[in-house]
Amino acid sequence: SEAEWAEGWLTEREWVLFSRMRPADRSHSIAVARAVEAHLAPEGTPQHWVIAAALLHDVGKTVPDLGTYGRVVATISGSVGGADMADVWADTTGFTRKVGLYLKYPELGADLLAVAGSDDRVVAWAREHHLPEEDWTVPAEEGRLLAAADDGRL
C-alpha cells in the first residue's frame, strides 16, 4: 500500500507524526514523494532525506488541526492580514488562535521534526518550503525538485 511505502522511508518517530496528518494531507505528501522519487537521477539510490522531506513537509498542519473550511479562512486571512498577523492571532484563543497557528505551520512542522530527530535537511525543508529559493538552506537541486513536486509541476 502507499502507506506502507511511505512508512519505509520514515523513522518510527517520523511515522508517528506522518500518521497524525489528515488523510488528504497524507495523500498529497505521498504524491509529492512519489513524484520526487520518479524524477531523482536514475543512477544510485534516492537520497533518503529528500523522500522524507517530501512526505513530511506539511506535518505542521497537524498542530492547529483545522478542517477544510478553517484552512480556507486561514489562507484568506493570511493573504489579507499578512504574515505579521500570524503571531498576533496565534496568541489569542479559539478559532482565531488556530488560524494563527495554521499560518505558522511550516515553523511548527520544523519544530516537530527537530524534536523527532529528523535529518536537518528534512527539518529545514518543512520550515522553508514556501520561501523563495534564495532563502533555502537545503541543496538547491533537491529543493527545486521538492518545490516542483509540491506545486504539481512534475
Q: What is the DSSP string of 38-52?
A: HHS-SSSPPPHHHHH
* Separation of alpha carbons 102 and 153, rounded Å: 24
Contacts of 91 (CB under 8 A, 6+ apart): 97, 100
**Which one, of 56, 138, 44, 58, lies nearest residue 106 by Cα?**
58
pLDDT at position 68 is 79
Is the separation of the CB atoms in 13 and 116 below 8 Å?
Answer: yes
Question: What does the pLDDT read at residue 1?
Answer: 92
User: How many residues would you count in the chain?
Assistant: 154
Question: Given this model, what pLDDT does residue 148 score?
Answer: 96
Mean pLDDT (10-residue bins), the chain, 154 residues: 95 97 95 92 74 97 81 78 74 82 88 97 97 95 95 90
pLDDT of amino acid 23:
94
pLDDT at 86: 79
Q: Cell numbers 536514475 correspond to what residue?
A: 42
CB atoms within 10 A of CB 150: 21
Q: Which residue has the cell 534516492?
A: 46
